[in-house]
Amino acid sequence: MDKLITIRPFKPEDRETLVKNAEADGHSVYFPTFVLEKDNEIVGYISVAVPVVLSWQDSKKMGPLDSVQEIKFIEGLMAQYPFICIPCDPESPYMSFLPKAGYVEYSKTVKLFIKAR
């Protein structure tokens, strides 16, 4: 039977190996807080440092300046975090606005799962 993984806090000296292993598997690394090890090899990571911001804006009643005001509010609210993740509907006007505001698109297709507690 395979050994189970070990989960431990990320250490700065893990970065090089973690990034190399993730890239070799076709993945990127964003603000790791824990690493997953199996057979003394880093095989994954967990980031609990990335706040995800979900929002809705009325498509008829919100304008570009309203959007700018909202993004600036979000950025102020999240100033203590090194990274912000904003899932965006491909049909949203934010698709053209967010890159202009300095956001980089994570272009790998993912599904967002939410569990209410």
pLDDT in tens, 20-52: 999 999 998 988 999 999 999 999 999 987 788
Q: Strand 6-9's sheet: what is its strand order?
A: 6-9, 34-38, 41-46
Same domain, 109 and 58: yes
- One-letter amino acid of 28: S
Tell me what the mean pLDDT of segment 3-13 comes to: 95
Same domain, 113 and 58: yes
Q: What is the per-residue pLDDT for 117?
A: 79
Same domain, 113 and 57: yes
Q: Is the pLDDT assigned to residue 1 strictly greater than 70?
A: no
Same domain, 78 and 36: no
Residue 82 within a domain: yes
Report the number of distinct structural domains present in the chain.
2
Q: What is the per-residue pLDDT for 7?
A: 97
Distances (CA, A) of 85 to 40, 48, 53: 31, 12, 6
Same domain, 93 and 40: no
- Put residue 19 in one of left, alpha, beta given phi > 0 → left and psi -120 to 50 → alpha: alpha
Residue 55 within a domain: yes
Does residue 105 or residue 16 have the better pLDDT? 16
Same domain, 83 and 66: yes
**Residue range(s) defining the domain that contains residue 40:** 6-46
Residue 87 within a domain: yes
pLDDT band at 111 (very low <50, low <70, confident <90, very high): confident
Q: What is the per-residue pLDDT for 42?
A: 97
Same domain, 19 and 72: no
pLDDT band at 6 (very low <50, low <70, confident <90, very high): very high
Q: What is the per-residue pLDDT for 114?
A: 81
Same domain, 64 and 36: no
Same domain, 58 and 82: yes
